[in-house]
Amino acid sequence: MKKILLLTLTLAILLVGCGEEDNPYKEFEKERLGELAAEKFEAIRTLAQAEPCTNSAEWKITEIGSVCGISHLAYHQSTDERRLRELIQDYNTLMEVYRPLIAPFIDCLPHREPIGIVCEDGGPVVEYPEFQFGMD
């Protein structure tokens, strides 16, 4: 009976320890997290928007973390989607640590689903429905 209890306890400890994925950014200072977030977002944007926007039908939308939760990013159909997902996943991992440090100081609008993409000055712009302040 003691062996079964000891085995069960050991297994539980291993499962809990192995189930928690360590965030590689958890030990970084707020300022460094901000720098990394800006660098990583720029790398994502550069990959996603390497082509000029001349036809909005050639563009897609993906979700990306932000200080307010979830945001959306337009990317060209020729973008390497696997690489884009990898960069966004790494950025989102960083944002899990950074967001709680700065979110109290950011004025966020409620989440809205995008309605499309338009091209403005050669760049893609994600469109959202008009935000309604107040009650009808």
Domain boundaries, the chain: 29-127
| Local confidence band at 26 (pLDDT 50, 70, 90 cut-offs) | confident
Position 134 scores a pLDDT of 61
6 pLDDT exceeds 80?
Answer: no
Instruction: Name which residue leads in pLDDT, 21 or 136.
Output: 21
Alpha carbon distance 67, 89 (integer Å): 15
Residue-wise pLDDT tens digits, 60-87: 999 999 888 899 999 999 999 999 999 9
| Local confidence band at 133 (pLDDT 50, 70, 90 cut-offs) | low
Do residues 65 and 103 make contact, with C-beta atoms less than 8 angstroms apart?
A: no
Long-range pairs for 89-92 at CB < 8 Å and ≥24 separation?
A: 90/40, 91/37, 91/40, 91/41, 91/44, 91/64, 91/65, 92/64, 92/65
| Local confidence band at 7 (pLDDT 50, 70, 90 cut-offs) | very low
